[in-house]
Amino acid sequence: MRAHAATDAGASHGMTVKSTTGEALAPGEELGEIAATFVAARQACRPLEDFPGMIPGDLATAYRIQDMAIDLWPEDIGGWKVGRIPPAIEDHFGIDRLAGPIFASTIHEVSNGHVLAMPVFDGGFAAIEAEYVAVIDRDAPPDKLTWSTQEAAEMIRDLRIGLEIASSPLATINELGPTVVVSDFGNNAGLIVGPSIEEWQSRSLDTMHCKTFVEGDAVGSGGAFTLTGGFVRSVQFLLELGARRGRPLRAGDVIATGQTTGIHDVAPGQSSTLDFGRDGELRCTLSAAAPA
């Protein structure tokens, strides 16, 4: 996997973050301080009591923070997660989805039914999400800013079942809204990638079902049909966003296209099973993340 070059995706809007010495920071430094705080908290596995500064008012600023955090993180990006912006507020942000990086070391390919231990931030936010994972076939042209649904579909090499670990040192990350989620790597802490889905190109989304269990209890059900626009729309969104950010999708990138049964809170010590019916099963146990 290769790292993606960083770009500025927006500007600060009247933020008033201070440094650890109490001195006021310039706008770019304010955003860098937020990024550095999230990165340090993740590396130390230390909970954050609140967002470390003024909450960004727009997604452009949030993606700029994310870009700065990516530059500070000592790993290559192996894929991306896509999250749904709630329909009630998507008009405010002008888009229906958001994105965050998935780092290569946190992506795990498993066989059907294999149990994998996955770390989450104890004292922060932790949840599991049932996903359909698209594998990108080839490098996207860096200067192509607009993609049709058909063009996006042709960029998908494979479709697999998946389990996203949504976790952040900030327990209130989802409550604070999309710009906060974007600021901390899209609230991602890992991805389990399972077997390929047979005949996915010709199958109706209505045939792709999933049920989620935590500690043996059913907590959600759904499938690929619950994704607004389907998994192809998520790939289309990322192709366009990636080009605008100077981070075009690369061959082999894995894309967690969005939760399909809900966002289900978990804690260290618990276990989960995702039953994708004819397409397989994924299982994991959750542990408390420890500093590297």
The predicted-structure confidence for 225-243, as pLDDT tens digits, reads as follows 999 999 999 999 999 999 9
Over residues 116-150, the pLDDT tens digits come to: 999 999 999 999 999 999 999 999 999 999 999 99
Per-residue pLDDT, averaged over 23-40, amounts to 80
Q: What is the pLDDT of residue 29?
A: 83
DSSP E strands in the chain: the ranges are 77-84, 97-103, 107-109, 115-120, 125-136, 156-168, 190-196, 209-214, 217-223, 254-256, 264-265, 271-275, 281-288
- Mean pLDDT score of the chain, rounded to an integer? 91
pLDDT band at 13 (very low <50, low <70, confident <90, very high): very low
Q: Which CATH number fits domain 77-288: 3.40.50.300, 3.90.850.10, 3.30.420.40, 3.40.50.1010?
A: 3.90.850.10
SS3 content of the chain, % helix, strand, coil (to 5): 30, 30, 40
pTM above 0.85? yes
Residue that is written with structure tokens 């999250």 in the block: 83
pLDDT band at 27 (very low <50, low <70, confident <90, very high): low
> What is the C-alpha separation between 3 and 120, in angstroms, rounded?
23
Over residues 162-220, the pLDDT tens digits come to: 999 999 999 999 999 999 999 999 999 999 999 999 999 999 999 999 999 999 999 99
User: Among 126, 216, 213, which Cα is nearest to 172's?
Assistant: 126
pLDDT at position 259 over 90: yes
> What is the C-alpha separation between 43 and 57, in angstroms, rounded?
26
Per-residue pLDDT, averaged over 62-79, amounts to 97
Q: What is the pLDDT of residue 254?
A: 98
The CA–CA distances, whole Å, from 164 to 199, 231, 267 equal: 23, 15, 14
Cα of first residue to Cα of last residue in the chain, in angstroms, is: 21
- Region for 175 from its dihedrals, namely left if φ exceeds 0, alpha if ψ lies in -120 to 50, beta otherwise: alpha
pLDDT band at 108 (very low <50, low <70, confident <90, very high): very high
Which residues sit opposite 3 in a β-bridge?
Answer: none
Q: What is the pLDDT of residue 292?
A: 77
pLDDT at position 24 over 50: no
